[in-house]
Structure 1
Amino acid sequence: MDRFEDMRNFVRVVERQSFTKAAGDLLIPRATMTNSIQRLEDRLGTRLLERTTRTVKPTHDGEAYYHRCVQILADLDDADTSFTNPDPRGLLRVNLQGTLARTFIIPAISEFKERYPCINLVIADGDRFVDLVHEGFDCVLRSGDLASSSMIGRRLTLLREVTIASPDYLARVGIPETLDDLEAQGHQMVCFLSGADDKPIPLDFVVAGKVREISLPPSISVTGADTYAACAAAGLGLVQVPRYRVADDLRSGRLVEVLPEYPPEPMPVSVLYPQNRQLSARVRVFVDWLTELFARTEF
């Protein structure tokens, strides 16, 4: 095992804060990972990691060495790709927003695999906040505004959004014709809690080119995108979602669009990756492929 492999192992242990998780990511035995880090510390003559029963953290020297390793390994990957191996290869761990993945990405993923057969792609999906570095992901796809300054985002597209409710809910409360009707008729909303702090998201409407936010009394609060849309179908109140997610329900009449003259602001879709690293060839081609995919997709 050469020193570059030891460096790769060290970087993964720091990011995963675990020998076991890092070894699992790299598909090597835990004992091999432990021996690799010990060999690295012996060669450098310094302790790189503080080990406890619950976590692993870099020492002061380890933190400085980690940042050097990240840059060196990125440069090495670029050099290998440019001169000895034009086809990106290796493990690529991505986290995708579930509905976007199932609707647009998974149906087309065979195209990416055919184009880059040497990339071992691992996909996780969900809506929750993800710590890319500590959870070992190379990039993440999310919809909504970008709030984290620790990541770089590339916007892929804007999703048209609609305000919807079920027919029985509108029969009970009334069909709003203006934004003032929302309060006058006593409408409720399904409250979506977003981000690591579960911040409530108000309804928003574009009026004469400007966004007006309205918070209605919540009938229920949820954290999942699928649950959010299901609450509208169950007659629990107004929700705002990307149109593609409810297109079939709108055509069938199971859900009804309201206030189409005041549409919600379009929702951005972005791919995110850590700002303190140079993109590997694997991540770069995946991000480029996502950009290409969304550019030719109609929403």
Structure 2
Amino acid sequence: MDRFQSMQVFAKVVELNSFAKAADALRLPRSTVSIIVGKLEAYLRIRLMQRTTRRLSLTPEGADYYRDCIRILSEIDEAEDLFSSAPNRPRGRLRLQMPTTLGRLVVVPRLDDFYKQFPDMALVIGLDDGQPHPTHESVECSIRFEEPDEGNSVSRRLGDVPLLTACSPDYLRRYGEPQRVEDLQQHRSVQCFSRRSKKVTNFMFDIDGDSVEVGMSATLAISDEEACGMCSARGAGLVQAPRFVLAQYMESGELVEVLSKWRPRPIPAIAVYPRNRHVSLRARVFVEWLAGLFEDCPLLSSDLNTKDQPSTGNRVNPGVTSGRLMACG
């Protein structure tokens, strides 16, 4: 039995969640793929997968073995890169995970710039705000909007993501503008809830140097920040979200900022690597590119250009930031 080929075949079956798709991708007969995985299970004396007519699922032992397979195959790829004809030019596949809104609104629209610099790389990007699936152990780098709390990873800070509190002009006409944080108890809100914890994310404000959490009764709770911004722009209530999520509505005038005197502290953006795995050249160059994006993109800058904002009142004049907010480079 060729153990290296067996690991490649097994990893591809898990990645594509299909024996047939794995066979097509590897250009092998479908029966051969099934035989290879069966022989691997017999060699290891464990069941790696539960197979039904409709789906495949990893056993706990299979999930552990898959994680090790991906690590080993990634290190082999990295070793080959080091001895290729262009050792400083990364190539191969990089698996990433990042928040849905960051990927969809900021990173994915800029990938053409990345590929101009690194044409030999292939990216597999998971846009996911929830708890990683066991097969996501194959991810070489994940981007998070919080400090990692597990002890089996290392991280690099990419930058800080500004948060804004906003609502629609129509909402202000109907309910008035909150002048103090205490006024929020009389207002409606659209809040995001975590798919991981199932808890609604309360609003945060920086009051006299302290970060204060303010609980509100959510008129509407959605597990997607972009959808929260859309509903707020249509008058459903106050919303608090990263500036890059609300930028299109701020530019058009569909949302205006409120309570800017007590803007919440920016949230950290962190690149996280598994501690027990070698950090590949592919992961390093992507994180360096992403760090540059955080530095250059106005949407991700911690500088809110307050000097350009109106000197009185709490609202952002959408015309002031038009063009600057929507451009990242």
TM-score range, shorter chain: 0.7 to 0.9
Maintained 8 Å contact 1:9/1:22: no
User: What CA distance in whole angstroms lies between the structure 2 residues aligned with 1:140 and 1:22?
Assistant: 26
Within a 5 Å distance, the mapping from 1:5-44 to structure 2 comes to 5-13=5-13, 16=15, 18-20=17-19, 23=22, 27-29=26-28, 30-40=30-40, 44=43
Per the alignment, residue 49 of structure 1 pairs with 48
**What is the identity, as a one-letter code, of the residue corresponding to 2:255?**
L
- Residue 287 of structure 2 aligns to a residue whose secondary structure is helix
Per the alignment, residue 168 of structure 2 pairs with 166
Query: 2:119 matched to 1:117?
Result: yes
Maintained 8 Å contact 1:112/1:289: yes
User: What CA distance in whole angstroms lies between the structure 2 residues aligned with 1:263 and 1:25?
Assistant: 52
1:175-196 alpha-carbon deviations (Å, 9 max, x no partner): 222222223xx11211211132
Query: 2:108 matched to 1:76?
Result: no
Deviation at 1:239, TM superposition (A): 0.8
Deviation at 1:64, TM superposition (A): 7.3
Query: 2:258 matched to 1:238?
Result: no
Deviation at 1:212, TM superposition (A): 0.7
User: What CA distance in whole angstroms lies between the structure 2 residues aligned with 1:283 and 1:25?
Assistant: 27
Deviation at 1:67, TM superposition (A): 6.3
Deviation at 1:46, TM superposition (A): 3.7
Within a 5 Å distance, the mapping from 1:249-288 to structure 2 comes to 249-288=249-288
Deviation at 1:2, TM superposition (A): 5.1
Unaligned runs of 5+ in 2: 302-329
1:220-241 alpha-carbon deviations (Å, 9 max, x no partner): 1111112100121121211112
Deviation at 1:151, TM superposition (A): 5.7
Per the alignment, residue 91 of structure 1 pairs with 93
The more displaced of 213-222 and 77-86 is 77-86
**What is the identity, as a one-letter code, of the residue corresponding to 2:211?**
V
- Residue 200 of structure 1 aligns to a residue whose secondary structure is coil
**What is the identity, as a one-letter code, of the residue corresponding to 1:169?**
Y
User: What CA distance in whole angstroms lies between the structure 1 residues aligned with 2:261 and 2:157?
Assistant: 26
User: What CA distance in whole angstroms lies between the structure 2 residues aligned with 1:155 and 1:64?
Assistant: 29
User: What CA distance in whole angstroms lies between the structure 2 residues aligned with 1:45 and 1:99?
Assistant: 41
Normalised TM-score (structure 2): 0.73
Maintained 8 Å contact 1:132/1:274: no
More strand by share: 1
**What is the identity, as a one-letter code, of the residue corresponding to 2:258?**
V
Question: Which among 154, 157, 163 is matched to residue 155 of structure 1?
Answer: 157
- Residue 261 of structure 1 aligns to a residue whose secondary structure is helix
1:196-234 alpha-carbon deviations (Å, 9 max, x no partner): 232111011001211111111211111111210012112
- Residue 194 of structure 1 aligns to a residue whose secondary structure is coil
1:113-132 alpha-carbon deviations (Å, 9 max, x no partner): 12222222334535444426
Question: Which among 108, 111, 125 is matched to residue 110 of structure 2?
Answer: 108
Q: Percent identity?
A: 34
Count of residues in Structure 1 that have an aligned counterpart in Structure 2: 294
Which structure has more relative contact order (CA 8 Å, sep 6+)? It is 1
Deviation at 1:144, TM superposition (A): 4.7
Unaligned runs of 5+ in 1: none
The more displaced of 127-136 and 256-265 is 127-136
User: What CA distance in whole angstroms lies between the structure 2 residues aligned with 1:148 and 1:231?
Assistant: 34
Deviation at 1:82, TM superposition (A): 1.7
User: What CA distance in whole angstroms lies between the structure 1 residues aligned with 2:242 and 2:271?
Assistant: 17
User: What CA distance in whole angstroms lies between the structure 2 residues aligned with 1:161 and 1:258?
Assistant: 12
What is the alpha-carbon root mean square deviation over aligned residues?
3.5
User: What CA distance in whole angstroms lies between the structure 1 residues aligned with 2:47 and 2:134?
Assistant: 22
**What is the identity, as a one-letter code, of the residue corresponding to 1:8?**
Q
Deviation at 1:277, TM superposition (A): 3.1
Maintained 8 Å contact 1:48/1:59: no
Maintained 8 Å contact 1:74/1:279: no
1:140-181 alpha-carbon deviations (Å, 9 max, x no partner): 434355566676543322111111011221222222222222
User: What CA distance in whole angstroms lies between the structure 1 residues aligned with 2:210 and 2:196?
Assistant: 28
**What is the identity, as a one-letter code, of the residue corresponding to 1:192?**
C
User: What CA distance in whole angstroms lies between the structure 1 residues aligned with 2:59 and 2:162?
Assistant: 44
Per the alignment, residue 145 of structure 2 pairs with 143
- Residue 181 of structure 1 aligns to a residue whose secondary structure is helix
User: What CA distance in whole angstroms lies between the structure 1 residues aligned with 2:44 and 2:161?
Assistant: 54
